[in-house]
């Protein structure tokens, strides 16, 4: 492997130093355990213990048998930690700060305003305002460019999805750039939300859809053809159907691949079985992302390490996925061009 340091520590340092792009990171999966403990104590959240290691077993995947629904259950626990506007603002700010600490230079952070508001019945538009303001402040404090994506839960009503889309459309000037559909893709098909996503696209929002993760390749086809997705969250099971692979390639759809998450949700059983190298070999638009840093106990540097050491991905391919991330960013062409020039220079590709 060319340009690979002789030690794991050397490789980690090299990968940490790379300017990174993360297109698929959930705010609700990015909470610091220390912050959880402090919020719980301050607001009297009823827990048997405020010890960080105790909280870890509920908030982080810690050796459980890989399972998609067990992974999602972590978020039911995490939704207890948004008791005040200040708590929402804090976790949003820290999510951006933590990405910056990993040398992520362009971040698209997604969140479900319903999840952040449910515990205290906050107005959805106010929750979005709090996150937008806090993320804007974090951008000023750290050397990172961040955009936001609002997320719709597949298991929710179409009416709620439409409401979230309207909020996203109305708040584009505050940094909202896209709309996402997430949740249980096996039990809740995406086609119910086709009109919602059409409205979002017509208003200028980017569309990304979780598909081809717990569900098969046909879900990727549905996301592209019926919802107009230009990006697919995960999408790794596209490889199971050659027609879907062709569709992804022909439409120039970007796949937001999250290796550690895919292992923990049992999409793959071993890292060496992950289709990332094959997706790259098929010349698809592939990016590498974290998904949920705190739930998965990972960083983007960790994901790059895993890709290289466990899957045989090269440093040149890692850099290629970073540039693919910029090409797939939900930004106007002139912004993507500016970012591409900067990243090409910093990655030594110019």
CA dihedral 55→60→66→68, nearest 10 degrees, is 100
* Nearest alpha carbon to residue 232 among 243, 218, 242: 218
CA angle 10, 16, 20 (to 5 degrees): 145
The pair of structure tokens assigned to 188 is 């809740």
For the chain, how many residues are written?
350
Question: Do residues 232 and 223 make contact, with C-beta atoms less than 8 angstroms apart?
Answer: yes
Q: What letter would DSSP give residue 32? A: -
145 part of the active site: no
Helix (H, G, I), strand (E, B) or coil at 233: strand
- Provide the CB-side half-sphere exposure for 61 (13 A, CA): 26
Question: Do residues 326 and 339 make contact, with C-beta atoms less than 8 angstroms apart?
Answer: yes
CA 90 to chain centre: 19
Among 89, 213, 222, 256, the one annotated catalytic: 213
Give the residue numbers marked as catalytic.
Answer: 213
């Amino acid at each position: 492997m060319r340009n690979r340091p002789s030690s794991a520590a050397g490789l980690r340092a090299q990968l940490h130093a790379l300017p990174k792009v993360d297109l698929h990171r959930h705010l609700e999966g990015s909470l610091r355990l220390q912050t959880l403990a402090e919020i719980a104590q301050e607001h009297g959240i009823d827990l048997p213990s405020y010890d960080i290691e105790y909280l870890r077993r509920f908030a982080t995947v810690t050796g459980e048998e890989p399972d998609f629904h067990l992974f999602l259950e972590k978020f039911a626990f995490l939704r207890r930690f948004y008791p005040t506007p200040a708590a929402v603002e804090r976790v949003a700010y820290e999510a951006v700060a933590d990405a910056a600490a990993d040398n992520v230079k362009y971040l698209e952070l997604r969140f479900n305003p319903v999840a952040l508001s449910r515990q205290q019945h906050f107005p959805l538009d106010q929750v979005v305002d709090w996150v937008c303001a806090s993320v804007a402040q974090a951008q000023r404090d750290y050397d990172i460019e961040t955009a936001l994506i609002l997320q719709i839960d597949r298991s929710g009503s179409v009416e709620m999805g439409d409401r979230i889309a309207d909020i996203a459309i109305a708040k584009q000037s505050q940094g909202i750039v896209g709309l996402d559909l997430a949740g249980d893709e096996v039990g809740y098909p995406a086609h119910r939300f086709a009109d919602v996503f059409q409205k979002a696209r017509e208003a200028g929002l980017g569309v990304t859809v979780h598909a081809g993760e717990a569900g098969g390749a046909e879900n990727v086809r549905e996301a592209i053809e019926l919802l107009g997705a230009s990006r697919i969250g995960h999408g790794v099971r596209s490889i199971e159907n050659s027609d879907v692979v062709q569709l992804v390639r022909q439409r120039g759809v970007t796949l937001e691949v999250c290796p550690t998450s895919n292992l923990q949700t049992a999409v793959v059983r071993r890292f060496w079985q992950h289709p990332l190298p094959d997706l790259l070999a098929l010349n698809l638009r592939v990016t590498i992302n974290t998904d949920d840093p705190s739930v998965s106990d990972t960083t983007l540097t960790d994901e790059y390490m895993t890709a290289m050491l466990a899957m045989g991905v090269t440093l040149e391919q890692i850099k290629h996925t970073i540039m693919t991330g910029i090409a797939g960013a939900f930004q106007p062409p002139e912004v993507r061009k500016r970012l591409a020039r900067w990243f090409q220079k910093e990655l030594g590709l110019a």
